[in-house]
Amino acid sequence: MGHWAERNIIEAIAGRQRRTPSDLIQGIGDDCAVVRKAGGLVDLWTTDALVEGVHFDPAWHPPYLLGRKAANVNISDIGAMGGRPRFALLALGLSGTTSDDFAGKLMDGFLAALVEHDMVLIGGDTVYSGERLMLSVTVCGEMAENEVCYRSGAQVGDLIWVSGFLGNAACGLELYRCGKDKEDRYSSLYCAHLDPQPQVRLGRLLAARGGVHAMMDISDGLATDLAHICKASGVGAVIVADDVPLADEFLHAAAMLRIPPVQLALQGGEDYQLVFTAPESSSQSIRIIAREAGASAICLGRIVAGQSVLLYQNGKSQDITFQGYEHRF
């Protein structure tokens, strides 16, 4: 296929789409598709796949947590629009080496994640997938049409917020890859990689009353996901390195791994925190909402004129636009 980046393929596919039904509010290009229905409500649709050897390694990813992760990375997209997740579809590709016990625990984890969000598995498919296990999940959510948070609403002057520490999941993955996976002090980093927690409650409250202009979840690193917001909104962004929220255990592990911590935090993937923009006048309400949701809200930058994501560190400016994790084909 050549050395294509994932976003180039998505743009090429979107360019071939010719039909736009009247009830389709948002198609390709956001965390979810948005479809209008009766009563001022919309359906939110999202889908994502996890492939063995690409997105997870069963050598260290327990099947129960893998099932949870497959559900939660999709549920996170619903939360990123401000919606309530409701239904799930699962296409499960089983390899020739997948045992009944592994498959059973995987489904236990998947269904447990759905129960936590009052969701129901309504169908799917099971197939033989050759040498690699694969999970493809589709989730449907619901919300009021006038509350949907898109990527495309960021405005010059907005503050940029995130909902928690960055880089923990990427650091956890590096610890597993290096065989440093049995130290208690890094337990939160292992957990961030194995069992991400979607910020659904925070997303719903922000959409309903937070004055948020744009929002999405951080799956490919802030450097890339904030760039998606900037591209969709026709703006630029400035991030202040000293304001990037980094956990103490993350800083210790990054030093041990000899990886620059801010680089790992902004370019590593799978945080599944929210990144959102809002006018400065909304700052107090955002902090109140975050406390109510049991989450955090950390301001680390501002939306500016332009089209690049810039990192200010040690008195210097660096362009980090789309420098997070990106699938290559």
- DSSP codes, 8-32: HHHHHHHHT-----TTEEE-TTSSS
Which residues face 141 on adjacent strands?
Answer: 44, 85
**Maximum Cα–Cα distance across the chain:** 57
What is the residue-level pLDDT of the chain in tens, covering all 329 positions?
344 566 777 777 777 777 778 899 999 889 999 999 999 999 999 999 999 998 999 999 999 999 999 999 999 999 999 999 999 999 999 998 899 999 999 999 999 999 999 999 999 999 999 889 999 999 999 999 999 999 999 999 999 999 999 999 999 999 999 999 889 999 999 999 999 999 999 999 999 998 999 999 999 999 999 999 999 999 999 999 999 999 999 999 999 999 999 999 999 999 999 999 999 999 999 999 999 999 999 999 999 999 999 999 999 999 999 998 765 54
Query: What is d(CA 57, CA 66) in angstroms, rounded to the nearest whole number?
Result: 10
- Neighbouring C-beta atoms of residue 34, cutoff 10 Å: 22
What is the spatial distance between Cα 74 and Cα 63, in angstroms, rounded to a whole number? 17
SS3 (DSSP) at 160: strand
Cα–Cα distances (Å) from 225 to 59, 97, 117, 271, 272, in that order, read 29, 35, 25, 11, 11
Domains parsed from the chain with CATH numbers: 6-147 (3.30.1330.10), 151-319 (3.90.650.10)
Alpha-carbon gap, residue 274 to 132, rounded angstroms: 31
CB 217 within 8 A of CB 31: yes
Q: Across the chain, how many H-helices and E-strands are there?
A: 10, 13
**Distance between CA 152 and CA 109 in Å, rounded?**
34
Token pair for 29? 């290009």
Query: What is the pTM assigned to this prediction?
Result: 0.94
Q: Is 300 exposed, middle or buried (0-12, 13-18, 19+ CB in 10 A)?
A: buried
